[in-house]
Structure formats: C-alpha cells, structure tokens
C-alpha cells in the first residue's frame, strides 16, 4: 500500500531575524522529521577574527547582529578581559549593564509588538495590527525608543554602538546627561506595566516542554552582562567549562551549527532565564509577573511573550536604579594589557546565553575564536517543539499546521543572522 504523504511548506519565514525555512515530513500520520533549515549563508566571523588585534573583537563581532550588538560587544570584552587577567571595576560594569538594558528593552519591544503579538490577535503582521490597535503599537514604539535612546547615550549610537572598548568605554556620560533618560524610563515603566496586563489576556495554547534549561546566574541580581552558568537538571558550571558541556555539530539541513548540552537538547533564552532566576527579579517586576499569571517557572513557549514583557519591566527598573546611583567613574576604562592565553566570556543576549572564547598569541593577535549564539543552542529544542505540536494536531489542515509551526518558531524570537553565522516551511505527509 502506498504510504500517505503529506507535505507542508513555508518558503521564507516572516517576522524573524534572518532567513530560513522549515521542512516537515509526515508518513502515515507519524512525524518522520522536522528540520529547521537555516539557509542564510555562513558568515565566517570566527575565521576572519583570526590574526586580528586582541582589541578588535568587541567592534568586529558587534557586526554579527543589528538587534543585539551589545551582547556581542560585552561577551567579547568579558572573554578578552578574562584572557588578559583584568577585572573591570563595578562602576564600569554598571554602565555596561545600563547599555545592555537598552538593548533588552528595544529588542524585546520589537518582538513583543511587531513580531509576536500579531500571532495572538490573528493579524498577518504588525502593520495590520497597528491599524486596529494603535494603542498597543504606539506604546510599543515608545518603549522601543526608550531602549534606543539608552543605547545612543551610553553606546554612542543605537545600532552597532561605537563607545564600547576593552576595559570599559571610550567616554562616559555626565550625571546630568542621564536625567532626561530617567524621565523617559519612568514613562516607559508605566507603559510596560499596562502592556503586560494587556498581553496577559491573550489566549495561550496549553503546552509545556521538558527541555533542560540553561541560563546565567548573577548572585542576587537577574543575569544580564555576566554570570556563572546555571542549568535546571544539573550542577552549575564555570564559564571556562562551557565547551566541556556544550558541543556544536554540523547538520546537513542548516548553515547554523546545532548545539547539545551533555549530548541532549536544551533551551536558553527568556524562558530559561526567567525559570532559573525569577527570584532575582525586582519587586515590581516580580509582582507584575505574578499578576500576569506567571509562576516561578515557565515552560510554555507561547507564554514567552509574558516573560519578555516582564523582562522589559525589569530592564527599565534596573536602568532607573543604575542611573540613580550613577557617579561618573574617574576613568572611562581600565587598561587591558595583552597577555597570551585563552579567555572565556558570556552574557545574556535578549535571545539567551551568548558565549565567546578567544585565544591570544604571543604576538597579541587572535589565534582562534569561538562564538556560540543562543539561536544555535536552541535549534534542537525548537525542532522538538514543532515535532510535538504537529504530532498533537495531526487532524488539522495543512494551513493550520503551517501557521502553528511558524508561531512555534517565533515563540523563541530566533536570530538567524546570528546563528548562521529562517522560514520556508515544507511539510511532507507520506
């Protein structure tokens, strides 16, 4: 008997960062394979960092992504400072955290309002949504603008900031420069709290997944610009042990590498970060999360929009705290003299843990570089979630299944440009 073949296909995934496709094969009603096909060309950043001066990776790797350049700058700086044995003083770390908060605010606002909310309210895109719900989009754009302003003030410009250097910054703001930002942040905090209330009223599919969760932890603070590595099903480990646990491998169907944690799929990003660190949120963010129906742990990827909204609230509060405590440092940076050796650096990009490793040679040049972005780490988990969702909805027609797969991918706000360093969907039903 000829097997029943069913094919679902999406040519180019929309409302994600980058270019990719999806291929699902069903044979006699059983999910045979789900492949997230990242076809954006590989970008060879790790290769062309070799032979560059040890001071260059923060600026070069910032170019990996227009949405999360600060993540690249900070993970790179952390790694090289580690190799050189330099500790950056707390007042400069606070300024890095402030800059990073700007990136979280603008990146999450973009995803929440223009990319993710249309999925819950039945709109094809953010522009159609804006015509009916200008209230949501106006506030979203205002919040995003606040994030961009923070990046301009601290980073020199909103995209690919130019003020970050090893050991700190080229220049630091005067205290009075930050006062207008504080006013914008206070208005955005009210908007963000309102938005979380609105988003919490969406209908969320009732699903949970059992991936191991991986995130940074940063003492009593919610992790952003540094930390140690924490996991849900095993002991924490040091950043230097990253490659002992997380191994990347090539797969035929993707130009991005697939990563595994001790051989198993795992998840990094807002859900993991929140689930492993919700106790470290500020009181207002924690109360807002509880009021929105979030427990201490969230394993439903559709509810990641709530977690992102909570993280926006947190990042705004953190920014206000840092600005209130800010006194300009005596020097905008500390010296980072070259030292041959290996350094490891991590930080929490909006989409999850971002790892950098550099080896510096005796000639002060980069001998080797390794960058493991969050989307590469999450690919196996994303494919697993789609396979489970398709298997649970086999009676749905192809259009419904296709839409479900696209939503499933957008739940993780994948950054394909970073990982290739996404969606045409094809579903074969055999």
Partner 1 sequence: MSVDVVIGIGNSFRRDDGVGLAVAEEVAKRGVRDVRVVTATGEPGAILEAWSGARLAVVVDAATGEGSCPGWIRRWTPGETADLGVVSSHAIGLPQAYALGQAVEQIPGRLVVLCVDVVDTDYGVGLTPAVAAAVPAAVEAIIAELDAERGA
Binding characters for partner 1, 336-365, by CB under 8 A (x = yes): ------------------------------
Using the rule CB under 8 A, give the single segment among 51-59, 144-152, 281-289, 299-307 that binds partner 1: 144-152
Binding of residue 17 to partner 1 (CB under 8 A): yes
Residue number with CB closer to partner 1 (214 or 416)? 416
Residue number with CB closer to partner 1 (217 or 415)? 415
Q: How far apart are the first and last CA of the chain?
A: 11
Tell me which residues in 57-86 interact with partner 1 (CB under 8 A).
66
3-class secondary structure per residue, the chain? CCCCEEEEEEECCCCCECCEEEEEEEECCEEEEEEEEECCCCCCHHHHHCCCECCCHHHHHHCCCCCCHHHHHHHHHHHHHHHHCCCCCHHHHHHHHHHHHHHHHHHHHHHHHHHHHHHHHCCCCHHHHHHHCHHHHHHHHHHHHHHHHHHHHHHCCCCCCCCEECCEECCCCCHHHHHHHHHHHHHHHHHHHHHHHHHCCCCCCCCCCCCEEEEEEECCECCCCCCEEEECCCCCECHHHHHHHEEEECCCCCCCCEEEECCECEECCHHHHHHHHHHHCCHHHHHHHHHCCCCCCCCCHHHHHHHHHHHHHHHHHHHHHHHHHCCCCCCCECCCCCCCEEEEEEEEECCEEEEEEEEECCCCEEEEEEEECHHHHHHHHHHHHHHHHHHHCCCCCHHHHHHHHHHHHHCCCCEHHHHCCCCEEEEEEC
CB of 33 to partner 1, least distance (A): 24
CB of 115 to partner 1, least distance (A): 11
Binding of residue 198 to partner 1 (CB under 8 A): no
Binding of residue 417 to partner 1 (CB under 8 A): yes
Using the rule CB under 8 A, give the single segment among 135-143, 274-282, 383-391, 398-406 that binds partner 1: 135-143
Residue among 204, 188, 223 at smallest CA distance from 116: 204
**Using CB under 8 A, which of 30, 121, 127, 182 touches partner 1?**
127
Residue number with CB closer to partner 1 (110 or 189)? 110
Residue number with CB closer to partner 1 (138 or 190)? 138
Binding of residue 14 to partner 1 (CB under 8 A): yes
**How many angstroms separate the CA atoms of 163 and 91, rounded?**
16
CB of 133 to partner 1, least distance (A): 9
Binding of residue 13 to partner 1 (CB under 8 A): yes
CB of 162 to partner 1, least distance (A): 13
Residue with tokens 């905008």: 332
CB of 130 to partner 1, least distance (A): 3
Binding of residue 18 to partner 1 (CB under 8 A): yes
**Using CB under 8 A, which of 94, 137, 306, 315 touches partner 1?**
137
C-beta atoms surrounding 430 within 10 Å: 15
CB of 116 to partner 1, least distance (A): 15
**Using CB under 8 A, which of 8, 10, 19, 350 touches partner 1?**
19
CB of 12 to partner 1, least distance (A): 6
Binding of residue 148 to partner 1 (CB under 8 A): yes
CB of 199 to partner 1, least distance (A): 18
Binding of residue 131 to partner 1 (CB under 8 A): yes
CB of 144 to partner 1, least distance (A): 5
Residues forming the site for partner 1 (CB under 8 A) = 12-14, 16-19, 66, 125-127, 130-131, 134, 137-138, 141, 144-145, 148, 158-159, 417
């Amino acid at each position: 008997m000829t097997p029943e073949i069913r094919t679902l296909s999406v040519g180019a995934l929309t409302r994600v960062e980058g270019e990719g496709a999806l291929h699902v094969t069903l044979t006699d009603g059983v999910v045979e394979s789900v492949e997230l096909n990242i076809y954006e060309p590989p970008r060879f950043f790790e290769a062309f960092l070799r032979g560059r001066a040890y001071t260059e990776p923060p600026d070069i790797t910032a170019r990996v992504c227009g949405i999360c350049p600060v993540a690249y700058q900070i993970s790179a700086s952390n790694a090289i400072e580690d190799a050189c044995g330099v500790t950056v003083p707390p007042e400069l770390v606070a300024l890095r955290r402030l800059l990073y908060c700007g990136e979280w605010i603008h990146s999450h606002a973009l995803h929440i309002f223009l990319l993710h909310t249309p999925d819950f309210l039945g709109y094809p895109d953010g522009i159609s949504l804006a015509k009916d719900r200008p209230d949501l989009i106006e506030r979203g754009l205002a919040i995003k603008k606040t994030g961009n302003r923070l990046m301009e003030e601290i980073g020199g410009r909103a995209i690919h900031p130019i003020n970050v250097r090893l050991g700190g910054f080229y220049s630091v703001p005067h205290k009075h420069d930050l006062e207008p930002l504080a006013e914008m942040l206070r208005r955005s905090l009210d908007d963000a709290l309102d938005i979380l209330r609105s988003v919490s009223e969406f209908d969320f599919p009732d699903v949970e997944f059992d991936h191991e969760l991986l995130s940074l932890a940063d003492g009593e603070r919610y992790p952003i610009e540094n930390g140690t590595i924490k996991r849900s099903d095993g002991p924490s480990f040091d950043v230097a042990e990253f490659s002992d646990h997380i191994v990347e491998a090539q797969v035929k169907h993707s130009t991005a590498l697939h990563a595994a944690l001790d051989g198993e799929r795992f998840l990094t990003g807002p859900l993991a970060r929140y689930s492993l660190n919700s106790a470290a949120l500020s009181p207002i963010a924690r109360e807002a999360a509880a009021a929105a129906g979030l427990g201490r742990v969230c394993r439903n990827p559709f509810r990641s929009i709530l977690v992102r909204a909570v993280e926006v609230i947190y990042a705004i509060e953190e920014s206000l705290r840092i600005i209130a405590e800010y006194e300009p440092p005596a020097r905008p940076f500390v010296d980072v003299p070259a030292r041959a050796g290996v350094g490891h650096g991590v930080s929490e990009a909006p989409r999850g843990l971002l790892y950098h490793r550099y080896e510096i040679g005796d000639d002060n040049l980069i001998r080797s570089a390794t960058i493991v972005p969050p989307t590469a780490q999450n690919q196996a988990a994303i494919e697993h979630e789609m396979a489970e969702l398709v298997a649970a909805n086999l009676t749905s027609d192809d259009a419904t299944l296709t839409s479900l797969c696209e939503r499933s991918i957008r739940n993780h706000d994948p950054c394909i440009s970073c990982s290739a360093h996404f969606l045409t969907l094809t579903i074969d039903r055999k």
